[in-house]
Structure 1
Amino acid sequence: MAQPQRMRAAVVGPLLLAMPALYAGVMMWLRGGWQRSRAAAEAANATEVAAETDTRAPGEAAAGAPSKADAATAATARAAVAAVAAGAPAVARLPEKAPTGSPAEALGTATTDEAAPLLFSVLIAARDEAAALPQLLADLAAQTLPAARFEVLIADDHSADGTGALVRAAAAGLPFRLRLVALAPAQTGKKAALAAALALAGAPWLVCTDADCRLGPGWLAAYARLLAAGATPDFISGPVLLTGPDTWFQRLLGLEFAGLVGVGAACIGRGAPTMCNGANLAYRRAAFEAVNGYAAHAHLASGDDEFLMHQLHAARPGAVRFLADAAAVVRTAAPATVGALLRQRVRWASKWRHYQSPASRRLAPLVLGANVALAAGAAWALAWPALGPWVATAWLLKLGADWWLLAPVLRFLGPRRWLWGLLPLQLLYAPYALAVGAAGWRGGYSWKGRAVTNAAK
């Protein structure tokens, strides 16, 4: 009996090992891509620092560093936003002349500085985000990039919680130009909100984040450093970190999410962009218009981030960069429950069937196949003990490959202790990936009270 089992194991074992071995090879290749992305960012920072040192007069502050007046204004703005969040009354001061022919309201007190032309328009789509927006506005007020260099446009996607009123109230004393964009009744969804804000944006670069995110003070300055160093991208993907209570659930989510960030950055470093996150990205307006914006995928509810990145890469290969700068990390709260996690991941997975990028279409089946092979191997080993060494080798191979890629990614993002969650994540990931993949293939999901579909056109 043992002999036939060993013979079957000798046949099935190598087949079982094939997919994890291929996966490990790809992870090794991707680590090289991550290192390229990091090296490019470090070179950009070094170039920018050297240029400042050569051109700055003795005692002059570094470019992007706030003056004492800027710091005082930002502190005042943070206090005003905090007061609004606490329920204190505030009055938004409108400019003397409101923009004509525009559905947007211009709020705040910022003025245009001709010596410092507008560089960034920050676009934020908001739906029922009154609880989160005060923190985001305070973070924007604290940016080290001079307020004259950026504007903020918040598109209110038919909120029912007073989001628009909160933005109006919080605008008093903000150091940057703020616009509130109201969507027409027929306009719904994130793409429509971003498109409405973009139509009113005045800067050559459009930077996107989400209303429930937190930004470091050097967020916009990090983008500016990359561009000042001579980089000529059309699309820049930024890093995102999950935050939340220090529980095992949150650690596992953070570890998985860090893997997505790392793979996305590594693929960009290898010249084959696959993934990015709408919570932290930027693109050149002229490049967006050259590919006709969202028109090619307007029938899909999601994908304002990745489909656009793929389009811009196809139009000009090499024009996508990853901003591997610690100052650019955006923080977003992890889903609080398993249900919220599954809904979010199904929304993301629903885009896969519509990808045109070869790298994106190949990567997802590889990851899924490796996890299915591990799960199937573990089940078969219960019936065929002789298969055990092959299964153990496959698990160790995948575990080592994940560690090899994730270790430098977590070193960059910060929470290296999350690596201890790799083993339990391996055990849970196969059924999780299968469930999310199957649900995402259907194309339907729920988002903020709306039934949404990414079904084929």
Structure 2
Amino acid sequence: MTTAVTVVVALRNEEKNIETLFQSLKQQSYQHFNCCFINDHSDDNTALLLEEKVKSASDQFKVISLNKNEEGKKMAIRKGVENAQGDLIITTDADCVHDPDWIKTIVAYYHQYKKPKLLSGPVQFSPSNTFLQQLMTIEFGSLILTGATSIMNKQPNMCNAANLAFQREAFLHQNNYEKHIHIPTGDDEFLMHQIAAEDPSKIRFIKNSKAIVQTPPPEGFSSFIQQRIRWASKWRHYDNKSPQLSAIFIFLLHFSFIGSLASVTFFSGNWLILLSGLAVRLLIELYFNKIMLKWQGDHRLVKWIPLVSLLYPFYAFSIGLLATFSKYSWKNRKYNV
């Protein structure tokens, strides 16, 4: 079965990724799609390179630029959807690389699942060059696994706009991000939560290796922290209380571990209880993260799961604080959380 698809890509200052992105989309085996590139006031050569690529291609691709009074990824995606020709919208990022059967696989699952309103696809970091990036890959894989599990349990709490498909009609029904347009991040999860509030069974996850989208990991520790603050900062704006309570619970869980560690280190706490709890958590995380990494083809990173598990409480606690009280930068723009 065929479905008209529009791929929407919001871009800002992505000149170094245009060539790879365009080739990745041109080689798609699925023919019934068009693509809207939405330029969000890039101040490099993004717009120029896009126009050159589109001119040399078919009318399958087009470029739209935001007006002066329009800004941000949500606005870009909204404009892309409003100008879309397809019934099924697929969003991805400019720095992503896709399997030639990426769109074909998404459409196949769309029909297999009897046309759900939203499909969340798997995303993984491209092969990592540094030790830090390898640890990032494990952490990122755990987020994708958590999101997939929440969807399968009919309690969807997270997804990733780098690989997200939804019905155009469902998006317009949710008022085009109107309620959250002022929040820079969350273009993926706010839509998911709105659809889930009506019927969580209309959200599905695509478990297929051909649907995996690869994106480069952050280049360094600072950019990684900025990205995670941006992702975590939207928790206070959730309308659905379930993911909001989950975020608070996870924060308190890691805080309790840090508190217990401080207690046994500086006071007369029980090391046996702490180490027993740590061992149980480590075994659980090792089991599930090992499955995820092997499915993604990153089995070489399994050996580092225990280290990530040990460091994670301190990382999660710190990000929770920073995402509540600090600022972050994104695409040469600064935002308050």
- Does the pair score TM above 0.5? yes
Match of 2:110 in 1: 227
* TM-score, with length taken from structure 1: 0.71
Give the secondary structure class of the aligned counterpart of 1:132. helix
Q: Contact 1:234–1:283 (CA<8 Å) still a contact in 2?
A: yes
Q: Which moved more, 1:293-302 or 1:231-240?
A: 293-302
The answer to whether structure 1 residue 275 and structure 2 residue 164 are counterparts is: no
Supply the distance in 1 between the matched residues of 2:182 and 2:111 (Cα, whole angstroms).
36
Between the aligned partners of 1:188 and 1:443, the Cα distance in structure 2 is 22
Query: 2:26 is aligned with what amino acid?
Result: A
Deviation digits for residues 65-114 of structure 1, max 9, x if unmatched?
A: xxxxxxxxxxxxxxxxxxxxxxxxxxxxxxxxxxxxxxxxxxxxxxxxxx
In structure 2, the residue matched to 1:165 is 48
For residues 236-260 of structure 1, what are the alpha-carbon distances to aligned partners after superposition, in whole Å with 9 as ceiling and x for unaligned? 1110001243332111100000000
Measured on the aligned residues, the alpha-carbon RMSD in Å equals: 1.7
Aligned counterpart, 1:250: 133
Q: What CA distance in whole angstroms lies between the structure 1 residues aligned with 2:111 and 2:203?
A: 16
Q: Is 1:140 aligned to residue 25 of structure 2?
A: yes
Aligned partners of 1:349 and 1:440 also within 8 Å? yes
In the other structure, the counterpart of 1:83 is: none
Report whether the alignment pairs 1:391 with 2:281: no
**CA distance in structure 1 between the partners assigned to 2:70 and 2:117 by the alignment:** 27
Judged with a 3 Å threshold, the aligned counterparts in structure 2 of structure 1 residues 388 and 230 are, in CA distance, closer, same or farther, namely: closer
1:209: which partner in 2?
92
Return the match for 1:177 from 52, 55, 60: 60
* Alignment pair present for 1:442 and 2:325: yes
Deviation at 1:234, TM superposition (A): 0.3
Q: Quick one: percent identity of the two aligned structures?
A: 30
- Mapped partners of 1:379, 1:368: distance in 2: 17
Give the equivalent residue in structure 1 for 2:290: 407
1:176 deviation in Å? 6.3
Please give the per-residue CA displacement for 1:155-184, whole angstroms capped at 9, x wherever unaligned. 111111111110121224535601100110
What is the CA-CA distance between 1:197 and the residue it aligns to?
1.4
Counterpart contact for 1:141–1:175, Cα < 8 Å? no
| SS of equivalent to 1:426 | helix
Q: Kindly tell me: are residues 230 and 351 of structure 1, through their superposed partners in 2, closer, same or farther at Cα, counting changes over 3 Å?
A: closer
> Taking structure 1 as reference, are residues 446 and 386 closer, same or farther at Cα in structure 2, changes over 3 Å only?
closer
CA contact (8 A) 1:155 1:180 kept: yes
Q: Which amino acid aligns with 2:262?
A: A
Secondary structure at the counterpart of residue 328 of structure 2: strand
Deviation for aligned residue 1:357:
2.2
Which whole-Å CA distance do the structure 2 matches of 1:386 and 1:126 have between them? 52
User: Which segment drifts farther, 406-415 or 389-398?
Assistant: 406-415
Once the two structures are TM-superposed, the CA of residue 142 in structure 1 deviates from its matched residue by 0.8
Contact 1:150 1:176 in 2 (8 A): no
Opposite residue 130 of structure 2, the aligned amino acid is T
Matches within 5 A, 1:49-198: 119-146=4-31, 149-174=32-57, 177-198=60-81
2:63 alignment partner AA: L
The alignment partner of 1:124 has SS state of strand
Query: Unaligned stretches of 5+ in structure 2?
Result: none
State the SS of the aligned residue for 1:274.
coil
Of 220, 238, 243, which residue of structure 2 is paired with 1:360? 243
TM-score of the superposition, structure 2-length normalised?
0.95
SS at match of 1:133: helix
Q: Any conservation in 1 of the 2:263–2:269 contact (CA below 8 Å)?
A: no
Q: Secondary structure at the match of 1:356?
A: coil
Task: Tell me, yes or no, if the aligned pair for 1:239 and 1:328 is still in contact at 8 Å.
Answer: yes
After the TM superposition, list the runs of 4 or more consecutive aligned residues in structure 1 that deviate by more than 4 angstroms: none
**Offset of 1:315 from its aligned partner?**
1.9
Distance (Å, rounded) in 2 between the aligned partners of 1:358 and 1:280: 25
Q: Give the counterpart of 1:340 among 219, 223, 235.
A: 223
Unaligned 5+ residue runs, structure 1?
1-62, 64-115
**Alpha-carbon distance between aligned partners in 1 of 2:111 and 2:72, rounded to the nearest angstrom:** 34
Question: How many angstroms apart in 2 are the aligned matches of 1:451 and 1:382?
Answer: 39
Q: What is the alpha-carbon distance in structure 1 between the residues aligned to residue 141 and residue 128 of structure 2?
A: 16
CA contact (8 A) 1:403 1:422 kept: yes
Residue matched to 2:315: 432
- 1:410 and 1:248 map into 2 onto residues whose CA distance is 16
Instruction: Answer 1 or 2: higher relative contact order, Cα 8 Å, separation at least 6.
Output: 1
Which amino acid in structure 2 is aligned with residue 342 of structure 1? I
Say if 1:321 and 1:161 are closer, same or farther in 2 by CA, change over 3 A: same
Q: Is the Cα–Cα contact under 8 Å of residues 273 and 359 in structure 1 kept in the other structure?
A: no
